[in-house]
Amino acid sequence: MRRFSLKWQIENAVMKKDIKNFLAEEGISRRALADIKFAGGMIKVNGEEQTVRYELKASDVLEVSFPPEESSVHLKGEPIELAIVYEDRDMVVVNKPANMNSIPSKQHPTGSIANALVYYYEQTGVESAVHIVTRLDRNTSGLMLIAKHRHAHHLFSLMQRVHTINRTYESFVVGQMQKTAGTINAPIGRKPGSIIEREVRQDGKKAITHFELIHQYSDFAHLKLQLETGRTHQIRVHMNDLGHPLLGDDLYGGDLTTIERQALHCSQLQFKHPFTKKECVFKSTLPSDMKRMI
């Protein structure tokens, strides 16, 4: 099994700095450091095991091995084909079809992306739990970002907090749009009496969605949408509040005559790789059920 590790060649600029402070500056969380120390990880300098109090010297080679990860005992691997768009040591980008959960639920305890990933990791020797960074609703299709180890998940989470993981969606909404572009800034909270449905409400959490008209058809509009925040059902709630619910979205009043699920697809992910610092852009074309409508 391949365990995740990091290695640094120490330069003069970090001399007289101990390993603990050096790793903190490299984005290693306190929790991760505690796991490295006490849960089966290892810290080596020039091939010899050291404690975090070791003072680094020029030309030292520091290597940190993270402890092994195990999936939840309740999450079983299943031989489900994954549409992998990209994969490297730190992440996987998959193209999720509609009618498939990101993670298991009471209604759908099997057949999720997470179940497929557990099996895939077992087959390819990846020693990791499943760390989903960008989750999609069951009936939303498109790109999902998954971290392949805890440290990558931590770094992606920090990026999400400052909104540097950009997600672009395409959707079909009911009616004629009055504006070709705009921003919806309206807080979202749980609808009273429902454990699933959300609504725009003043005591909700901040939610911002940007939209742009791609094409206006006679009775529906094709939109490009970008999320600045990531609230549950955000696009669905915001467009319904604007008077343009998504086609196929029966929870929020969308028409079901032309498509049987909400017409929403994550078509692009863009972010800077947390380790290589290279700009990453991944794209996905519309699935067949949405293509048929245009």
Q: Do 152 and 88 form a contact (C-beta atoms < 8 A)?
A: no
Q: Do 143 and 85 form a contact (C-beta atoms < 8 A)?
A: yes
Which residue(s) pair with 168 in the sheet? 226, 268
Tally Cβ neighbours within 10 Å of residue 243: 12
Q: Do 233 and 189 form a contact (C-beta atoms < 8 A)?
A: no
Q: Do 101 and 139 form a contact (C-beta atoms < 8 A)?
A: no
Catalytic position from the list 137, 249, 255, 289: 137
Q: Do 150 and 66 form a contact (C-beta atoms < 8 A)?
A: yes
**Whether residue 88 lies in the annotated active site:** no
SS3 assignment, position 214: strand
Output b/e per residue, 155-164; b: 16+ Cβ within 10 A.
Answer: bbeeebeeee
What single DSSP character describes residue 14? G
Name residues whose C-beta falls within 8 Å of residue 80's C-beta, 6 or more positions apart in sequence: 111, 115, 116, 119
Q: Do 149 and 275 form a contact (C-beta atoms < 8 A)?
A: no
CA separation for the pair 76, 118 (Å, rounded) = 7
Which residue(s) pair with 93 in the sheet? 86, 145
CA separation for the pair 200, 39 (Å, rounded) = 44
Q: How many residues does the chain have?
A: 294
Q: Which residues are catalytic?
A: 137
